[in-house]
Structure 1
Amino acid sequence: MKSPKKVYLEDLNKTFITAGKDKVVAVNDINLKIEPGEFATMLGPSGCGKTTTLRMIAGFEMPTKGNVFIGEENVANKTPDKRDTAMVFQNYALFPHMNVFDNIAYGLKILKRPKTEIKERVERILKMMKMEDFSERVPAQMSGGQQQRVSLARALVMEPGVLLFDEPLSNLDAKLRIHMRDEIRKIQQNVGITSIYVTHDQEEAMAMSDKVIIMNNGVIEQQGTPQEIYQRPINEFVANFIGRANILDGQIESFDGSDVIVNIYDVKYRAKANRRFETGQKVHVVIRPEGVIVGKQDFTVKVEKSVFMGQNHEYGVDFFGTNIEISENNPTGKTIYRIGEQMGIGFEERALHIL
């Protein structure tokens, strides 16, 4: 495999003109740097611009303005075949009349590579994918997961500098999706290839990525590691989009530069400060459902939902007129609260994040 390449998007914009001559800005002057060998996932709601961005990197859409660098080369105006990329598609895009070997070899044949080289590279990829026994099968004889592995092998055999994924697992059932996301991540780490992955599945993004890029309305809201995005969301949109979030009203009691004391309904908590705060400032505080401590007596709340899920117990409670969600891990042997009962709760200070 060749060395992985970095990807840099500079002031990238895509504006579409509708049939009514209206302008729709799909991607609005974004800047993004993806390091060589990094697995980056673009995540966001439908229409946020993530797929359009991926298609501009691939060359299937040309930018209205801005630059796309792959390695040191600006490829913004080059066709897909002139870019050092390969795409894994949502619908597999396999040739139904070709067997697995020929599907994987197709791109190399188009490039007129020698037959001996084609055979060696395809067999090496089949071995990597643990699909040596599938080389003579046609797509109709394989499951969805197997077809997706062939689609991935076909992209990898081209030895691209950058591998692109357009929601590749959305056609698979839930259990197979989990298996395939683990497989893709393992293969990507073994090969060390720069990868850009588009999905609307938050768990998929968290499980696979070195970097998560949250998009909304054509702009990047936040980018960072899965831990940073989940634990320190920059705003309410990110907090609510990635995982589940309880957003509470609070007021700053004191601030010393690194820690902040925040008052939440007359109970004081110490939280880490990620920016400057003023005494008396009203703020919003994010606490994830697993950061709520059941049984602590900081607050007494009324249970409105109580659902046993096996590895955890899910509660919904009335917290000063606002519903908050609680996820209590490993509920075996613990008190189970029923709908209508009173429950004592508190908040894990390390889990508090002030917006």
Structure 2
Amino acid sequence: MNKKMKVEIKNLTKTFITNKNDQVKAVDNINLTINPGEFVCLLGPSGCGKTTTLRMLAGFEIPTKGEILIGNENVANLTPDKRDTAMVFQNYALFPHMNVYDNISYGLRIKKLPKAEVHERVDRILKLMKMEDFAQRVPSEMSGGQQQRVSLARALIMESGVLLFDEPLSNLDAKLRLHMRDEIRKIQKEVGISSIYVTHDQEEAMGLSDKIVIMKDGTIQQIGSPREIYQKPINAFVAQFIGRANILDGQIVGDKGDTVVLDVHGVQYVTEKTTKHKVGDKVQFMIRPESFNTSEKDFKAEVTKSVFMGSHHEYEVSIFGKTFEISENNPMRKITADVGEILSFSMDPNSIHILEK
């Protein structure tokens, strides 16, 4: 149905001039490749540059410098209608006086396609979206999820090479957001269209992406699969932005080739060598709350928070002058500790990740 297009962003920069005539770099010299058919999420806090990047891809903002290649064509200075892209907006952007059929077919009619072709393509997309029974409804007669589905159908029917998503699920409730996330991923896989999706929701990015791009202050911090970003973040910002992370101090006291010996307050762990650190270096490392074992006794710490969550038990403990989180899975098989009690635990060496300098 859709062409599979490669997208390349090269040295892309966007500088805005403030009211006080100051220059603010919203996007600062970023480079990114989206492979044909790939689903890529731009993820980061407010003001990180992800939405500005998407708007430059769509043609709503012109870059200060840099290239945007769709296929082999540099579209950086082209208007939105001259690009092989389609957009799914946060607020649906449907025509309130038009029914579903007319909303979806609008772009095709503007292009003056033959009526028979328009009808065939609308029928096909309605079946794909499982919305055959909604063709004659107007937006006010539909739920938010149904309207977002129409918005997606309207973008897909243009058969563009690249599909852009601007936080399309943020106006939906939590349950519907989860359902629509799964639907978007399923349809994107079925259609095979290259997709770039902006979100500040970590779970959304993890559930949708082939590749996640973590942004901060207009720059790219790390690019990787959801598994790579979660298990092997490059720095403390990425570690703490994706999921929950404990950042602790240690020292490398041995080198065994592919592994190093990490001393953590007198306890030594053999863990993967992931950086250019050398023996003697003091380092920071990350360990996730679920990567502790409370049946072993490498460390003892006072419990400052103890919450039973059914499937797991969450603790905060105070040790080494820091507070950090431990999540104990299947607490029915474990001895639980209340606030003020002492909890014994160890760390899983395979889950320790040493951060870059």
TM score, norm. by length of structure 2: 0.98
Residue of structure 2 in register with 1:338 after alignment:
338
What residue identity is the alignment partner of 1:64?
T
Cα-to-partner distance string for 1:234-284 (whole Å, 9 max, x where unaligned) = 111111111111011100011123101100010100111123322111000
Checking the alignment, whether the CA contact within 8 Å between 2:295 and 2:334 is kept in structure 1 is no
What residue identity is the alignment partner of 1:221?
Q
Residue of structure 2 in register with 1:7 after alignment:
7
Partners of 2:327 and 2:145 lie apart in 1 by: 32
Checking the alignment, whether the CA contact within 8 Å between 1:41 and 1:213 is kept in structure 2 is yes
Checking the alignment, whether the CA contact within 8 Å between 2:181 and 2:208 is kept in structure 1 is yes
Matched, 1:158 2:137: no
What residue identity is the alignment partner of 1:244?
R
What residue identity is the alignment partner of 2:264?
I
Partners of 2:258 and 2:157 lie apart in 1 by: 50
Residue of structure 2 in register with 1:283 after alignment:
283
Partners of 2:332 and 2:119 lie apart in 1 by: 55
Residue of structure 2 in register with 1:25 after alignment:
25
| Deviating more after overlay: 332-341 vs 19-28 | 332-341
Residue of structure 2 in register with 1:317 after alignment:
317
What residue identity is the alignment partner of 1:209?
S
Aligned residues: 355
Listed as ranges, the matches of 1:55-204 within 5 Å are 55-204=55-204
What residue identity is the alignment partner of 1:278?
K
Matched, 1:35 2:8: no
Partners of 2:330 and 2:140 lie apart in 1 by: 43
Give the C-alpha shift of residue 333 in structure 1: 3.7
For 2:148, what is the secondary structure of its paired residue? helix
What residue identity is the alignment partner of 2:122?
V
Partners of 2:114 and 2:44 lie apart in 1 by: 43
For 1:206, what is the secondary structure of its paired residue? helix
What residue identity is the alignment partner of 1:213?
V
Partners of 1:310 and 1:186 lie apart in 2 by: 31
Q: What is the Cα-based RMSD across aligned positions, in Å?
A: 0.8
Checking the alignment, whether the CA contact within 8 Å between 1:257 and 1:276 is kept in structure 2 is no
Partners of 1:266 and 1:65 lie apart in 2 by: 51
Partners of 1:310 and 1:140 lie apart in 2 by: 40
For 2:120, what is the secondary structure of its paired residue? helix
Partners of 1:105 and 1:252 lie apart in 2 by: 62
Checking the alignment, whether the CA contact within 8 Å between 2:2 and 2:192 is kept in structure 1 is no
Partners of 1:82 and 1:288 lie apart in 2 by: 46
What residue identity is the alignment partner of 1:31?
N
Partners of 1:327 and 1:135 lie apart in 2 by: 48
Give the C-alpha shift of residue 2 in structure 1: 2.9
Checking the alignment, whether the CA contact within 8 Å between 1:68 and 1:76 is kept in structure 2 is yes
Listed as ranges, the matches of 1:180-259 within 5 Å are 180-259=180-259
Partners of 1:102 and 1:257 lie apart in 2 by: 64
Partners of 1:56 and 1:172 lie apart in 2 by: 26
Partners of 1:166 and 1:278 lie apart in 2 by: 43
Partners of 2:107 and 2:62 lie apart in 1 by: 23
Gaps of 5+ in 1: none
Cα-to-partner distance string for 1:282-301 (whole Å, 9 max, x where unaligned) = 00010000111112100011
Checking the alignment, whether the CA contact within 8 Å between 1:295 and 1:343 is kept in structure 2 is no
Matched, 1:260 2:275: no
Partners of 2:85 and 2:281 lie apart in 1 by: 49
Give the C-alpha shift of residue 337 in structure 1: 1.3
Partners of 2:160 and 2:261 lie apart in 1 by: 51
Give the C-alpha shift of residue 121 in structure 1: 0.5
Partners of 1:118 and 1:319 lie apart in 2 by: 66
Partners of 1:280 and 1:19 lie apart in 2 by: 50
For 1:332, what is the secondary structure of its paired residue? helix
TM score, norm. by length of structure 1: 0.99
What residue identity is the alignment partner of 1:113?
L
What residue identity is the alignment partner of 1:268?
Q
Partners of 1:279 and 1:331 lie apart in 2 by: 38
Partners of 1:306 and 1:120 lie apart in 2 by: 59
Give the C-alpha shift of residue 3 in structure 1: 2.2
Partners of 2:168 and 2:240 lie apart in 1 by: 24
